């Protein structure tokens, strides 16, 4: 069903639409398959820079003689990503003329390359096409099913509806696209003169976060909106079977010597659940910061009923995210950064209403400035320890893989920076800003954490420069 051209060419694959849509399409040259085989031989294992450069020369020469060979273009996309020239990979992907349902089956070719290469705006463009397909096809499925029934072809009507219910409504590709849209939104810009972070979308710890958070909450009920990812919960094992993997791996059947690996179905679901947890935490923290009041005359201000409800919701989200973090597997350093996020969320709950866990209540422990400062210091120390471990495990200064930086930035660094800014706002309400770092333990602990984050960002810059 994913192949729109099977009625014309029964043995064709997803790329047949690309081939048939160009009137000037010519048959592949006899030497193209041999060139693909030679490239695989050159790129086996860990190719050197010289081998990568020579392979680029070979494949560009082949593309000059066979400019419409989709398989050469796909091979070139992956080659240029190894050379950290993702802009060329993006241009080649656009020349494939992927359209309509092919975004479901072929987007997996480019999405990891764009995200790893820091092309966040282009990532959002591809993901929006995937989500837009869901919207248009959901409307068209009912229309064409009705027409099929009017013409007496009940089997076709059943085919339309079954495809919509079992493939598109449960699409794994769409689930991934929703998460990538939320993660990459803070880096989206239309103009180079705009600020790089949070220019148009995303929560980044600025004054406009409140309006954006409210919009996200109101849109979360729409099943086709990216914000519906906020409702994806449960364990990975229970969620995997709910989604249909529509990726077409047959278009890489020519990779005989150097087969490529992609994220498994379980990994995509796991990453999507993680992104849902992250953005649930960010939204709730923004709503809490808006209602939090600073102390008056040396005493804490009683929290309003709305603030208590929002804090209880955040504590529930923290508990769910912690359970997920403990049960799921992450690369080295990533789980520690998740712990940093949870610790910063703990700072928000303590400074807002004095609570630091779901079990804690105002009746079981005193609620005063000294207690809040002590609990805040504890959470900041936890964040400092976990970030220190993460920096050591990531070891970005000795790693030349730019893709790690491209993935790390939207997945963890931007949410952590947003939470740090929110914590800064709350600590300023208490008079524990950076000017008090020599007189207040809490301000000193926060300053140490901020300096460590600056060092981690410096490691990322060193990795990119190498």
**Domain assignment present for 449:** yes
Q: What does the block give as tokens for 338?
A: 């998740």
Q: Is residue 391 part of a domain?
A: yes
As for how many domains the chain has, the answer is 1
Whether the CB-CB separation of 208 and 190 falls below 8 Å is answered with no
Confidence of residue 179 (pLDDT cuts 50, 70, 90): very high
Least confident range of 102-111, 217-226, 274-283, 423-432: 217-226
Radius of gyration of the chain (CA): 25
**Residue 46: how many other CB atoms lie within 10 Å:** 7
Which of the two residues, 366 and 393, has the higher pLDDT score? Answer: 393
Residues paired with residue 296 on neighbouring β-strands, in sequence order: 299
Is 175 part of any domain? Answer: no
465 CB contacts (<8 Å, ≥6 apart)?
Answer: none
Q: Are 432 and 442 in contact (CB under 8 A)?
A: yes
Which range of residues forms the domain containing residue 410? 295-465
Q: What is the pLDDT of residue 237?
A: 64
Q: Is residue 394 part of a domain?
A: yes
Reported pTM? 0.88
Neighbours of 228 (CB within 10 A): 18
Q: Phi-psi category of 26—alpha, beta or left, where left has phi over 0 and alpha has psi -120 to 50? A: beta
Question: Sorting pLDDT into bands at 50, 70 and 90, what band is 364?
Answer: low
**SS3 state at 345:** helix
- Sequence-separated (6 or more) residues with CB below 8 Å from residue 340: 383, 386, 387, 390, 416
Higher pLDDT, 62 or 16: 62
Q: Please answer whether residues 124 and 181 qualify as being in contact, where contact means their C-beta atoms are separated by less than 8 angstroms.
A: yes
Instruction: Flag whether 214 is in a domain.
Output: no
For the cut 60, the answer to whether the pLDDT of residue 238 exceeds it is yes
Q: Does residue 24 form part of some domain?
A: no
Q: What is the distance between the alpha carbons of residues 3 and 9, in angstroms, rounded to a whole number?
A: 10
Residue 458 lies in a domain: yes
Instruction: Quickly state the pLDDT bin for 19 (edges 50, 70, 90).
Output: very low
Q: DSSP for 46-63?
A: S--HHHHHHHHHHHHHHH
Cβ distance 375 to 350 under 8 Å?
Answer: yes
- Contact indicator for 79, 111 with CB cutoff of 8 Å: no
- Asked if 185 and 124 count as a contact pair (C-beta separation under 8 A), the reply is yes
Query: Rounded distance, CA 376 to CA 427, Å?
Result: 10
What is the residue-averaged pLDDT of the chain? 86
At residue 88 the predicted structure's pLDDT band, cuts being 50, 70 and 90, is very high
The per-residue pLDDT for 28 is 57
pLDDT digits (tens, 9 = 90+) for 368-420: 888 899 999 999 999 999 999 999 999 988 877 788 899 999 999 999 999 99
Nearest to 296 by CA among 417, 431, 175, 152: 431
Mean pLDDT, residues 289-308 taken together: 90
Task: Tell me if 433 is assigned to some domain.
Answer: yes
């Amino acid at each position: 069903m994913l192949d729109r051209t099977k009625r014309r060419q029964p043995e064709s694959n997803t790329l047949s639409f690309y081939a048939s849509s160009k009137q000037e399409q010519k048959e592949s040259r006899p030497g193209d398959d041999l060139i693909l085989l030679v490239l695989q031989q050159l790129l086996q294992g860990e190719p050197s820079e010289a081998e990568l450069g020579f392979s680029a020369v070979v494949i560009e020469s082949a593309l000059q003689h066979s400019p419409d060979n989709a398989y050469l273009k796909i091979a070139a996309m992956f080659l240029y990503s190894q050379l950290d020239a993702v802009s060329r990979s993006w241009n080649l992907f656009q020349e494939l003329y992927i359209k309509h349902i092919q975004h479901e089956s072929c987007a997996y070719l480019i999405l990891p390359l764009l995200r790893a290469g820091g092309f966040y705006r282009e990532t959002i463009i591809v993901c929006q096409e995937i989500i837009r397909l869901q919207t248009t096809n959901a409307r068209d499925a009912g229309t064409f099913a009705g027409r099929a029934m009017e013409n007496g072809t009940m089997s076709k009507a059943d085919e339309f509806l079954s495809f919509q219910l079992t493939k598109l409504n449960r699409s794994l590709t769409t689930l991934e696209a929703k998460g990538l849209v939320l993660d990459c939104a803070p880096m989206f810009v239309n103009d180079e003169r705009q600020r790089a972070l949070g220019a148009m979308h995303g929560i980044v710890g600025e004054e406009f976060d409140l309006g954006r958070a409210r919009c996200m909450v109101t849109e979360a009920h729409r099943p086709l909106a990216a914000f519906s990812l906020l409702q994806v919960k449960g364990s990975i094992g229970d969620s995997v079977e709910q989604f249909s993997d529509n990726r077409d791996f047959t278009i890489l059947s020519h990779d005989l010597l150097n087969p490529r690996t992609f994220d498994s179905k379980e990994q995509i679901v796991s990453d999507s659940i993680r992104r849902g947890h992250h953005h649930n935490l960010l939204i709730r923290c923004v709503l809490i910061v808006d209602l939090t009041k600073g102390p008056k005359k040396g005493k804490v201000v009683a929290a309003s009923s709305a603030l208590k409800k929002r804090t209880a919701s955040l504590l529930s989200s923290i508990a769910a995210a912690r359970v997920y973090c403990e049960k799921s597997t992450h690369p080295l350093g990533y789980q520690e950064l998740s712990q940093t996020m949870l610790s910063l969320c703990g700072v928000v709950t303590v400074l807002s209403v004095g609570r630091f866990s779901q079990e804690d209540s105002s009746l079981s422990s005193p609620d005063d400035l000294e207690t809040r400062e002590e609990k805040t210091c504890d959470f900041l120390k936890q964040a400092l320890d976990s970030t220190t471990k993460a920096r050591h495990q990531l070891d970005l200064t000795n790693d030349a893989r730019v893709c790690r930086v491209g993935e790390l930035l939207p997945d963890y660094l931007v949410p952590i920076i947003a939470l740090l800014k929110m914590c800064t706002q709350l600590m300023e309400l208490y008079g524990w800003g950076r000017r008090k770092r020599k007189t207040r333990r809490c301000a000193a602990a926060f300053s140490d954490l901020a300096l460590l984050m600056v060092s981690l960002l410096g490691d990322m810059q060193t990795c990119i420069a190498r």
